[in-house]
Structure 1
């Protein structure tokens, strides 16, 4: 094998090794990678080959190269389409991270005045109040606070939601005809900071969604994400006005 061929093979081997460690979570976000010279010694390659590997990883968004500090595993950032309704699990798996879910609280009760406002109910009705936490790898990814209108979706009362997230269940069970999103930034309260394992008053991205079906309001949900790990994207076509 020529020297060029050997270097190319080493390039792919090093790249595969490092990608595997990042995707598996062995090297978590913020982890500092070995320096170029150390990679060259470890793999018996030239510094140029090590540099090319790190450049490739940086272009792919897996690492961040900082002048004089080294290379660090990037914080995962997911892009949620504003006009789509999809599962949190799909968001996490798009990052090539392991997904897990935990039900924090489940309460069956009559709708409060605030609940009625969220769901646009003209009179009181039974609701299912759910609090869920979604994880990406070992880290909290999203806090979900959801109200389900049991007048429209009475089947939800019989679901414990211990294994299946309510959003996933609703998508598969209840057709919706209209949806509304409200998106804003908010500082983390003490409780949210503790739940998401972030600093108090850290910036969070909040997405509130309401959906309606043919027989009335279906659900109101508030998703709270750590602000440095989430982005929104919307695709649209030109309309009649600029």
Structure 2
């Protein structure tokens, strides 16, 4: 009996490791249906109970979703961002064990117009660098970034190669900020946004808008749009002093 128990534990770890590696590597992407328990039991030469325990552990860890009568499916990983922090999007993606990539889709120099003044704290006509890019998490778009940078505050941004370095990552490393403001809202994806994020039009999306300032003035306004099923926000706080 002890030998059987030890064999079950060994098989449990082997099956668990095999499935986890396929999910993390992307071989089994989100939405992929796993083999049925009876088929896995046959494949590994073990009891269905051993496989069931593996599936239960995978479901508890959030890697799979078990649907009655349909089977088990790989879940869409969710990134967590701290509401009161300025995070590196690449780090968010890599925390999900996904390959990171990005592409710059727009770079424009212009003077601040009326619409810009509602987004970034600069005077009319101030020079702005306008950037748009898409961040990738594995094979899927992770979020869309639309950014304004004040060239009066950060003149060196005009010479930065944002096709090689994401603008948020560059700003974190180059420009100390002294104040930040977050605005969070939900929207339904427009046709343009849906095409950018490879989702259906009308899909719920999470929008995080942020403005930052330094001692020299406004630094940037950025609007980050995430597919709603792949991102959550969190905040940690302590009770106010009595």
TMscore range, shorter length: over 0.9
Segments of structure 1 that go 5 or more residues without pairing to the other structure are none
Query: Shift in Å at residue 240 of structure 1?
Result: 4.7
Q: Number of residue pairs matched?
A: 241
Cα separation, 2, equivalents of 1:99 and 1:6: 39
The residue that corresponds to 1:146 in the other structure is 147
Tell me, what secondary structure is at the counterpart of 2:119?
Answer: helix
Q: Decide which moves more: 54-63 or 93-102.
A: 93-102
Alignment RMSD: 1.1
Alignment of 1:49-198 (within 5 A): 49-198=50-199
Query: Shift in Å at residue 117 of structure 1?
Result: 2.1
Tell me, what secondary structure is at the counterpart of 1:61?
Answer: coil
Are the equivalent residues in 2 in contact too, given 1:77–1:231 (CA < 8 A)? yes
The residue that corresponds to 2:207 in the other structure is 206
Segments of structure 2 that go 5 or more residues without pairing to the other structure are none
Cα separation, 2, equivalents of 1:56 and 1:71: 12
Tell me, what secondary structure is at the counterpart of 2:161?
Answer: coil
Are the equivalent residues in 1 in contact too, given 2:111–2:124 (CA < 8 A)? no
The residue that corresponds to 1:220 in the other structure is 221
The structure 1 segments of at least 4 consecutive aligned residues displaced by more than 4 Å after TM superposition are none
TM-score by length of 1: 0.97
Tell me, what secondary structure is at the counterpart of 1:143?
Answer: strand
Q: Decide which moves more: 111-120 or 54-63.
A: 111-120
CA offset digits 1:33-56 (Å, max 9, x no partner): 011100001111111110111111
